[in-house]
Amino acid sequence: MPDRVLELAIVGRSNVGKSSLINALANRKKLAKTSKTPGATQLINVYELSPEGSGHWLVDLPGYGFAKAPKQELERWRRMIEEYLMESKSLGGTIVLIDSLVGPTELDLQMVDWLDHIDLPYRFVATKSDKVRSSKSSKRRQELTSKLGVDKSDVLWVSADSGSGIPQLRSEIVNYFGSDD
């Protein structure tokens, strides 16, 4: 891969909304391919932030979990994700996406344990926040943060559809890449 200065990876289970989130962050509808079928992202996709040639990459990894694909293909994705996260010299952190409707799954918790094990910093982002009924929002947020073992302030709630939380996440990403100077 070409030289890069700093990378930030986006990880999450299949169908958590990674591609929709990337499109919302970029304010473009079809930058990242979206699909109702889990497993649309099958490769490591790199998005270079402006200016071109800056070496600042937002990296979209294939989802883990219930994508419908042959076991051999799922294993190839798992190895690809693992090798990238362990071997990229310019990877400084990850954004761990959690589906706000589903909450952290066993696979999400395994990913967090593994990121802790390899000492890779991460930021929790709960996707699809607009899908949680307002009457259940407070309880849902409490359940999610409790299961993750973090404070409410440690999870950013976003919606690619409504745009809520997107400006804050975009700002955090810009600040992340600005901090390497």
Instruction: Report DSSP state, residue 132.
Output: S
The boundaries of the domain holding residue 172 are 6-178
Instruction: Report DSSP state, residue 179.
Output: T
- Cα torsion angle, 71, 97, 59, 111, sign: negative
Give a yes or no: residue 1 inside a domain: no
Give a yes or no: residue 125 inside a domain: yes
Give a yes or no: residue 94 inside a domain: yes
Rounded distance between C-alpha atoms, residue 154 and residue 74, angstroms: 30
Over residues 28-70, the pLDDT tens digits come to 888 877 765 555 566 788 888 876 778 899 999 888 876 666 7
Place of tokens 């589906």: 99
Number of domains the chain contains: 1
Give a yes or no: residue 78 inside a domain: yes
pLDDT of res. 120:
96
Q: How many H helices and E strands in the chain?
A: 5, 6
Over residues 116-175, the pLDDT tens digits come to 999 999 999 999 999 999 899 999 999 999 999 999 999 999 999 999 999 999 999 999
Give a yes or no: residue 105 inside a domain: yes
Give a yes or no: residue 121 inside a domain: yes
Q: What CATH number should be reported for the domain holding residue 41?
A: 3.40.50.300
Average pLDDT in the 61-83 region? 79
Over residues 84-111, the pLDDT tens digits come to 999 999 999 999 999 999 999 999 999 9
Q: Which two tokens stand for residue 49?
A: 């932030």
